[in-house]
Amino acid sequence: MSLTDLPPGGARAVARCDALAVAPFSDMQGGLFRAYLTPAYAAAQEVVAGWMERAGMQVRRDTAANLVGRYEGALGHAPALVIGSHLDSVRDGGAYDGPLGIMLGIEAIAALNAQGRRLPFPIEVYAFGDEEGSRFPAAMLTSRAVAGTLDAAALDIADAAGVTLAEALASTRDYLAAARAPGATLAYLEAHIEQGPVLEAEGLAVGTVTGIAAQRRYAVTVGGMAGHAGTTAMRLRRDPLAGAAAMVLAVEQVARGDDSDVVATVGMIEARPGAPNVIPGEVRFTIDVRSGAEDRRDRAAKAILARIVEIADARGLDCAVERIHDLAASPCDPALMDMMDAALAAAGQPVRRLVSGAGHDAMNMAALCPTAMLFIRCRDGISHNPAEHVDAADAEIALRVMLGFVERLGESCAS
Ligand code: GLV
Ligand code: MN
Ligand code: MN
């Protein structure tokens, strides 16, 4: 059956994510990489806009290049329920991290529209552009712009090829004008794959998210002395890559040693100039530190940075550390969690609450309105990996829960 013939519902949401995981919606051969403002991103926006329109929405692109579909409510200017997730991916990522939440939002509108149903509030489905930070040295630019928490200084960035955000946008419109007006947002709902093993281990399809862990990222530059790999005696070297190797191990040791929910990752490292016969002159790497509690994250980050300075000093290396991303822990709204639990129970699902170690656009939207998240089981808890998998049956359950949640939110507005 072709994509256009698929009946509405969870299976179609999954099939649409699968369709978006290949060229022209991916910028890499043989896998999925869809970074913000690339040709693959534009191609994906175009088809998703068509799906939004067919579901009954008016579609626009905001000044941060988010795609937004609006389904009017019964009352003229009531604040909107925003349902959102992200269209970008990590490099060689899975098909569902991000797009599934958008596709389920579109399916929810399609279901309401098919019944001619209008809620007491409009619903806007946001396909956010940059959640992963896969292109520019910043993450969640687009939901921060929408939430009104993005500092204008954050816009002076360039990707690895030196293309600035302004150039990539090809627009002179004010990026920060993507901010939603105060009072224009009733609540934010995001459905997302769990990206962890808890639901699967407990035989559950879906769960209510209680909140999102605090996260912080650093960019570290280690400077040494470039030299000839054949002629420079070992005792004379100031090798920043050997130093960075010790630093990477220190990152792991600090997080392990905390014996808590603290996690720390070096996910990118680059040695320059990068040749087999050259001792590198400079190394750059990133550190990502997270915990459900800000104080634990901060303590671990402090310990990591202290070890890095120690290692650099002991090896006579220069070292510069820049904080490039910092988000506080973000609790979901208690009343909306109760509503989600009730929707789970009404859909015949056991009620289970769980915390999110992964970051989500909901963290930023929390500055604007109360937030709710629904997690969906994924196979073996695998994510940020092409092996990511979601069962269509679970997506269908998630859709029913989302519709139940919307229903309850409507009732709470009426009462
Ligand atoms: C997003 O996937 C994140 O948690 O880094
Ligand atoms: Mn992700
Ligand atoms: Mn995601």
What is the residue-averaged pLDDT of the chain?
Answer: 96
Pair 386, 280 in one domain = no
For ligand 1, the distance from its centroid to the CA atom of residue 195, given in whole angstroms, is 9
Ligand number with the minimum distance to the CA of 98: 3
Instruction: Name the domain boundary from 293, 327, 361.
Output: 327
Please name the amino acid found at residue 372: A
Q: Which two tokens stand for residue 406?
A: 């919307």
Query: Which ligand 1 atom is the nearest neighbour of the CA of 290?
Result: 4
Q: How far is the CA of 2 from the centre of ligand 2 (A)?
A: 28
pLDDT reported for residue 4:
66
CATH code, domain with 246: 3.30.70.360
Question: Does the C-beta of 283 come closer than 6 Å to ligand 1?
Answer: no
Same domain? 293 vs 351: no
What pLDDT is attached to residue 77? 87
Is pLDDT at 347 greater than 80 in this prediction? yes
CA of 85 to the centre of ligand 2 (A): 10
Q: How many structural domains is the chain composed of?
A: 2
196 lines ligand 1 (CB under 6 A): no
Give pLDDT, residue 2. Answer: 62
**Of ligand 1's atoms, which has the minimum distance to the CA of residue 384?**
2
- Ligand number with the minimum distance to the CA of 383: 2
Co-location of 98 and 187 in the same domain? yes
Residue 69's Cα: distance from chain center in Å?
A: 19
User: Mutate which of 85, 128, 132 to test ligand 1's pocket (most atoms within 8 Å of Cβ)?
Assistant: 132
Q: Are residues 174 and 106 in the same domain?
A: yes
Mean per-residue pLDDT for 319-346? Answer: 97
Which residue among 327, 343, 373 closes a domain?
327
52 shares its domain with 190: yes
Nearest atom in ligand 1 to 357's CA:
4
Residue whose CA is at the smallest distance from ligand 1 atom 3: 359
Q: Where are the beta strands (DSSP E) in 2-133?
A: 58-61, 67-71, 80-86, 123-128
pLDDT tens for 128-172 read: 999 999 999 888 999 999 999 999 888 889 999 999 998 999 887
Ligand 1 neighbour 358 (Cβ under 6 A): yes
Residue 1 — very low, low, confident or very high, per pLDDT cuts 50/70/90? Answer: low
Q: Which of 327, 356, 379 is the last residue of a domain?
A: 327
Regarding whether 53 and 180 lie in a shared domain, the answer is yes
Asked whether 94 lines ligand 1 (CB < 6 A), one says no
Range of the domain at 182: 3-212+329-414
Which atom belonging to ligand 1 lies closest to the Cα atom of 195? 2
Distance 132 CA to ligand 1 centre (A): 6
DSSP secondary structure letters along 283-318: EEEEEEEEESSHHHHHHHHHHHHHHHHHHHHHHT-E
Ligand 1 in contact with 132 (CB < 6 A)?
A: yes
List alpha helices for 56-98, DSSP H. Answer: none
Q: What is the CATH number of the domain that holds 70?
A: 3.40.630.10
Q: Judge whether 61 and 68 are in contact, CB under 8 Å.
A: yes
Q: What share of the chain is helix, strand, coil (3-state, %, to 5)?
A: 40, 25, 40
Q: Model's pTM, two decimal places?
A: 0.91
Does one domain contain both 84 and 9? yes
Query: Residue whose CA is closest, atom 5 of ligand 1?
Result: 359
Write the residue with the smallest CA distance to atom 1 of ligand 1: 359
Over 80: is that where the pLDDT of 3 sits? no
Residue 114: closest CA among 155, 55, 34: 55
Note whether 292 and 279 are same-domain residues: yes
**Distance between CA 163 and CA 75 in Å, rounded?**
44
pLDDT band at 18; cut points 50, 70, 90 = very high
Per residue in 100-139, pLDDT (tens digit) is: 999 999 999 999 999 999 999 999 999 999 999 999 988 8
Do 153 and 206 sit in the same domain of this protein? yes
Q: Omega into 7 within 30° of 0, i.e. cis?
A: no
Q: Cα–Cα distances in Å, from 290 out to 175, 207, 257, 353, 377?
A: 28, 21, 14, 20, 22
